[in-house]
A and B are shown apart, each in its own frame.
Chain A
Amino acid sequence: MSRSDRICRLITALAGILALAVTIGVPLGYFTVSYHYMHGTLDAEAETGAAVVNGIINSNPLMWQFEHVRLSEMLDRRPHDRVPEERSIADLTGTVIAESLDPLRWPVLSGTCGVYDAGTMVGTMKISRSLAPLLWDTASVAAGSLLVGLLFFSVLCTLPLRAVKSAYNYLQESEKRYRSLYESMKEGMALHRITYDEYGIPVSFSVVDVNPSCCRLLGFTREEMLGKDGDELYSGTVAGYFPEILRAASTGEAFSFDFVQHATSQRLHVAVFFPEPGFFAFLLEDVTQRKADEEQIRRLAYYDSLTGLPNRILLMDRLEQILAKARREKTRFVLLFLDLDRFKVINDTMGHAHGDQLLIQVANRLRHVLRSSDTLARIGGDEFVVLATLDGEEMNVAHLAQHLIDNITTVYPVSSREVYASTSIGIAVFPDDGSDCNSLLKCADMAMYAAKEAGGKGYHFYSPEMNRKAHARMELETNIRHALEQEEFFLEFQPIVNAGDGRFIGVEALVRWQDPERGRILPDLFIAAAEESGLIVPLGEWVLRTTCRKMKEWCEAGLPPCLVSVNVSGRQFSQPGFTDAVCSIVRETGIDPRFLALELTETSLMADGEAAVKALGKLKELDISIVVDDFGAGYSSLGYLHKFPIDRIKIDRSFIRDLGNQSNGRAIVEAIIALASRLNLHVVAEGVETSDQLDFLKEQGCHEVQGYYFHRPLSEETLMALLEEIKENPVPLFASPEGETIAISLAT
């Protein structure tokens, strides 16, 4: 029989008992109370009547029993709405002396009281009433109670039974649901019973129940696990936590722990809870993968994925630690900031993948050179930081820096090519150069820049002068930005002429800065700062737009058109919207793009050769000329050269300057011109200052030249005057330093 059936039977029985109690109890109670009330009433009436009879007796003690009339009259005295009664007075022999009788139905209830003469009982007064009306009333009450009892029974039976059945159904469904959940849950669940010794002290535990996931996690069948001792089941790994489990059971605190299964090397997380006294349960979760993931995340968060070295976050953390320790122990430590020399060129020319290979090799070398107690971190592209404690004098630091430079400066094999690399190191010392992490790092960074400026492949200690220079650089950047807003920049134009006959070919637009306070600022000062800060992009765009406007103005002024070259920085060229910006400016100003030339360095073009090919192609569609500037000074890739739609190459001025001194310079210029000739490219030589240089270039077949030999950069007014003059009279333009007169005319 199920528990539900037992409860139903119990409820039915209780309902029956209660209904029976109502059915019987109410009429029984009514009858009992009414019976006692009637009995009491009869006794009271008999007592009252007896008191009257006593008076009659005492007034006539000898003959009282013959005072029939008086006694009868007394018995006849009844209330107006009297209940039928039999009233009688009898002597001690039972002989009735007087009576007043109403017809009474059976059964009859009587109340009796003695009558007395001088304290001696001489007879009895008896009053009787029929119980029939009470029985009828009781029967009516019983009938009503029966109805109420039946109703009570039905209500007590149906409602609770319905509730019980509903509750049981709900309970069964709930149990089924939870059982399903219990058996299908991914986490293992194991219920244990605590075993006590004869003194009531818990000594061990055994398994009471497990779910399938628990069997799977622990590698046992359910049958193998049930009843098994906990120590045996968990191979003693959980036994150490047993006291903690018992303590948690007594305090009700949450408790959890991890353990590793030796057989499977699985790491299981166990949450312990206590479903009832004397028992505890394990919620087992396989956290092997999660722990590995956490470790991976930790590595990703704190380590450089390329080299495996600590990243900037971990470096800062360790820096904080070593800083705190140094403050506490009043010791010193050193921070070395390493930056590979010319790594950008390597990265740009060989691609990032090759750059990454180089970085890995450098990191490995550094790792082997340093002590295990030192911290080596990679905090940027080619930036490494070494954190080392100072055991002796600063000379040791210099030795360490030089040791690092010596070990790094070598040739590295990168994808079957050999790449030479060196490094510059900036050194900052705690507490001399800074008292917090950021200032120390900043100082080391500045010292590194100082080492770079000194030519690289060296180290430099931080000094306050570096800080001043850094501030000056920052101020310069601010001023450039301000100058752009205030239009303090202007253009000058250096003419380019035909090397053979001196005809005017065009001009190269050159940006100049006239600061209202500091006067004219050299391009070498602000161009580098603009490149570094990124301001070269808006500045370059300003130069291009201004040049195009001037060209339009000259055209509208009726001046003869000429080729105008505009320098484009590598950073500007690598902007995603560069070609669109050029197109937009050309359309906006309405110039003839055939007279516009853009000068780009080899390095700019080679940074992303494929993208450069596409960009140059778009520019060529507009008929814009492309000039490779400073050819030979950068990292040339002849393989790409023939792919670019180049119109001219401009030989770097350093080669022209060296023409008179070194035979190597002549050979390079000859080679460049020969190469250009083979590729059908025009060659422009810049920085021509002497007739010897001009003669050599003419001899080698150089097409065009520019330099002080012919013209210094001209102001716009001078250029316009020159163009006006060319338009009116194609006369010799100027006399060369050697006194030779050159006739100049507009090239067509």
Chain B
Amino acid sequence: MASTVKNITSLSLVIIGLLFLPALCQARAELIRINGSGAAVDILRPMISAYAKQHPNVKFVVNKPLGSKGAVKALLAGFLDIAVSSKVVTREEAAQGASFSDYGRIPLAVVSPAAVGKQDITTRELTDIFSGKVRQWPNGEPIRIILRPRDDIDAQILAGLSPGMDAALRSARKRPGMIFAATDPEATESILRTPGAIGTAALSCVISAKGRLKAFRLNGRAPTPVGIADGTYPLAKDVRFVTTSRTTAAARDFLRFVYSAQGRAMAKKEGVLVTAMDEKNP
């Protein structure tokens, strides 16, 4: 009788253990939450896939891009493990525990749908287009400008092209009927679906669009990592990773992969001019 009761008790424990097995297995999986600038997140996607294959217990959570600033805030609030930013970490952010590591730079291309029939564009032409002086493409189609928010890094980079461009951008923002896109994916999507559109997009986005976006040569120079490297192409976005002391070990391991030769190779493939050394992984 006593042995029977003991067997029944043992059986019950086994059944309970079987019932909670998946949960126990789940608890042991590593979760890495990444967000940031849209273009930078896009660069990481091939690396995330590769890393996830090598580490099946690691799960990545990559939500809709929050942008550089939003991602850093979310990181500092503990909602993220890694923030990918194109902006410099501010003193306030650093004071709150944010630390960063530069990774590389990615060309910012002036783009339009492929059908506008123009290959090159000059700073002057770009200024005239954004200031409203030129309103039609050479094929007669109206030019529809896709603007980015004032605080967006793409807008700041474009404004830095020339003082005239800065004024043209401010003027464009004041004109009624302008189309605004908050994030990189939204901007790319807007340009693709808007006839005669013109805007900016990271080279990675142009590559992932697979020919549906036409990147103009700016002042005769194509938006390439080489052009950035030799300083002949003026428009480029930084790619840097921001972490805190709360960043998990898994996340740090993932970053080591990103900084590895494999990771850097994959980044170059996405059009990134990787400036970080392998030894400088965090």
Contact surface of A with B, Cβ cutoff 8 Å: 59-60, 62-63, 65-70, 72-73, 76-77, 80
Contacts and interface: CB of A to CB of B under 8 A. Distances in A.
Interface of B: 35, 63-64, 66-67, 69-71, 73-74, 77, 79, 149-152, 173-176, 180, 182-183
Give me the 8 closest cross-chain CB pairs, A-B, nearest first: A73-B149, A66-B70, A70-B182, A69-B67, A66-B74, A68-B70, A66-B66, A73-B182
Contact of A80 (B70, B149, B176): B176
Nearest to B173: A76
Given A69-B69, A69-B183, 17 more contacts: A59-B64, A60-B64, A63-B35, A63-B74, A66-B70, A66-B77, A66-B79, A67-B66, A67-B70, A68-B67, A68-B69, A68-B73, A69-B151, A70-B149, A72-B151, A73-B150, A80-B175
A80 B67 contact: no
A384 to B, nearest CB: 129
A63 B63 CA distance: 9
Given A63-B63, A80-B174, A69 B149 contact: yes
Contacts of A72: 149-151
Contacts of A63: 35, 63-64, 66, 70, 74, 79
A69 B150 CA distance: 9
Contact of A69 (B63, B176, B182): B182
B150 A76 contact: yes
A57 to B, nearest CB: 13
A62 B63 contact: yes
B67 A67 contact: yes
Nearest to A59: B64
20 contacts: A59-B64, A60-B63, A62-B63, A63-B70, A63-B74, A65-B73, A66-B35, A66-B73, A66-B74, A68-B67, A69-B67, A69-B69, A69-B151, A69-B152, A69-B182, A70-B67, A70-B183, A73-B150, A76-B150, A80-B175
A76 B174 CA distance: 10
Which residue among A72, A73, A76 has the maximum number of chain B CB atoms within 10 Å of its CB? A73
Contacts of B149: 69-70, 72-73, 76
Contacts of B67: 67-70
A428 B52 CA distance: 169
Contacts of B79: 62-63, 66
A73 B73 CA distance: 17
Contacts of B150: 72-73, 76
A69 B187 CA distance: 13
A97 to B, nearest CB: 9
Contacts of A68: 66-67, 69-70, 73, 151
Nearest to B38: A69
Which residue among A66, A67, A77 has the maximum number of chain B CB atoms within 10 Å of its CB? A66
Nearest to B83: A66
Contacts of B183: 69-70
A67 B174 CA distance: 23
Contact of A77 (B63, B73, B180): B180
B16 to A, nearest CB: 33
B40 to A, nearest CB: 14
A77 B71 CA distance: 23
Contact of B70 (A59, A69, A76, A77): A69
A638 B55 CA distance: 195
A55 to B, nearest CB: 12
Nearest to B35: A63
Nearest to A69: B67
Contacts of B173: 76
A73 B147 CA distance: 10
Contacts of A67: 66-67, 70, 182
Contacts of B176: 80
B36 to A, nearest CB: 10
A516 to B, nearest CB: 136
Contacts of B69: 68-69
B180 A66 contact: no
A72 B183 CA distance: 12
Nearest to B149: A73
Which residue among A62, A65, A68, A72 has the maximum number of chain B CB atoms within 10 Å of its CB? A68
B174 A73 contact: no
A60 B61 CA distance: 13
A262 to B, nearest CB: 110
Contacts of B174: 80
Nearest to B76: A66
Contacts of A65: 73
A62 B66 CA distance: 11
A66 B71 contact: yes
A636 B73 CA distance: 170
Contacts of B182: 67, 69-70, 73
A69 B180 CA distance: 11
A475 to B, nearest CB: 130
A73 B190 CA distance: 16
Contacts of B66: 63, 66-69
Contacts of A80: 174-176
A96 to B, nearest CB: 12
